[in-house]
Amino acid sequence: MPVTQKLRNGAWRVVELITTPVVPADYLDVIAPLRNPTVLRARIEAVHRETANAVTLELRPGRNWEQHRPGQYIRLGVDVNGTRLWRAYSVSSAAGRKDGRFTVTVNAVQDGVVSGHLLRHAKRGMIVNLDLPTGDFVLPSTPPAKALFVTAGSGITPVMGMLRSALHQMPDVVVVHSARTADDVVFGAELRALASSGRIRLIERHTRADGRLKPAELASLVPDLFERDTWACGPGEMLDDLGSHWTDAGAADRLHVERFRPTVLVAGDGGTVAFERTGTVADAPAGTSILEAGEAAGQLMKSGCRMGICFKCVLPMREGIVRDLRDGTLTTVTEVDGANVLIQTCISAAAGPCRFDA
């Protein structure tokens, strides 16, 4: 190891001693939250309203950010009423912007806690938490000569990221986009401008007037359908329909899909509890704590007071719903939360199938 490196490490250890028991970055957070080397955050630099129900956030990411590939999404952690909730949003800006910023476009979903919050309260200067870009719904490094994008609603966002990044490399692009009305089309003005200048062929479908687009109709709208590499993003039903249509035509490998709506969990009574590391599966009826159910199934469980006060029994839940046995409160966790929601197993009962990282 070079001497300078050794000196630097030594100096850093002294700095760590200055700030013990917390790490130096915790003090840095008080003044420069984007400089933290271990926690990735971003500052909202601008908020653009797209439609009545959609808003684009321009984000300046902090240290250790990595460029996205067009079409990828990020997880955004937003504090809503004091609690950090994570949701996935597609990056809608072109890759490789000079100012290092990127945008995500948030569509308000019905009863959407996070999207609703961002639509109403997002403003310049707000700090959000984020994860590195991920997802394989991307364009190949050499974009195809003939491309088709089939999108609905907010499904246009990753496709917009692709068009903004690589349209200059794609001579023949067809975009078939469904939205309730013409006003509901996110990026409507930009898409129509691209269409009128002849850069893309845009087919807008307004479902309130014309109903949902069926795969069979696509063939008449886009005659060379199966000659094109196709990217589709929208509600699960639409993707299922497209999937079987492409499979029937023997062109399944030309279709790339992105499902953006996670499974909706509905609270019931009791459920199976899976401990994924050990493979133990416990049956946890309503009224039985997950701690007791786990112990009964032979899972080695940590426990303390067994009455909800000491927090020793907490386990990270990957997905599921639990009900607090004391007051009935429900806690819902989905994959997007990234296994960082800790559940007090001694006072929580399963309210549906649950999966734990334990």
Partner 1 sequence: MTTLQRKEVNPIAHLSPEDIEQIGRELDAIRDEVLAVRGEKDANYIRRMIAVQRRIELGSRALLLFSLFPPAWILGTAGLSISKILENMEIGHNILHGQYDFMRDPKIHSTTWEWDSASPAEQWKHSHNELHHKYTNVVGRDNDLGYGIMRVDEQQKWVPAHLGQPLYNFINACFFEYGIAAYDLELGRNLKTKKRRSNPAFRENLRAVGRKIRRQVLKDYVVHPALAIPVGFLMGNPFGAFLGTLAANAVASLVRNLWSHSVIMCGHFPNGVETFERTSITGETRGEWYLRQMLGSANISGSKLMHIMTGNLSHQIEHHLFPDLPASRYAEIAPKVRALFEKYELNYVTGPMVVQVASAWAKVFRLALPNRKAAKEIDYSIPPRHPAEQPAGV
| Residues at the interface with partner 1 (CB under 8 A) | 14, 17-18, 20-22, 26-27, 29-30, 39, 79, 81-85, 304-305, 307-312, 314, 326-327, 329, 340-342
Q: What ranges make up the beta strands (E) of 180-337? A: 201-206, 229-234, 255-259, 271-275, 280-284, 315-324, 330-333
Separation between Cα atoms, residue 49 and residue 52, nearest integer Å: 7
Separation between Cα atoms, residue 287 and residue 35, nearest integer Å: 46
Query: From the CB of 108, what's the least distance to partner 1, in Å?
Result: 20
Query: From the CB of 332, what's the least distance to partner 1, in Å?
Result: 12
Cβ neighbors of 252 (< 8 A, separation 6 or more) are 243, 246
CB-wise, 39 or 219, nearer to partner 1? 39
CB-wise, 258 or 319, nearer to partner 1? 319
CB-wise, 79 or 217, nearer to partner 1? 79
Query: From the CB of 193, what's the least distance to partner 1, in Å?
Result: 40
CB-wise, 33 or 215, nearer to partner 1? 33
Torsion of CA 295, 300, 305, 309, to 10 degrees: -100
Query: From the CB of 53, what's the least distance to partner 1, in Å?
Result: 24
Query: From the CB of 22, what's the least distance to partner 1, in Å?
Result: 7
- Please check whether residue 77 is in contact with residue 130, taking contact to mean a CB–CB distance below 8 angstroms: yes
CB-wise, 7 or 221, nearer to partner 1? 7
Separation between Cα atoms, residue 124 and residue 147, nearest integer Å: 36
Helix (H, G, I), strand (E, B) or coil at 42: strand
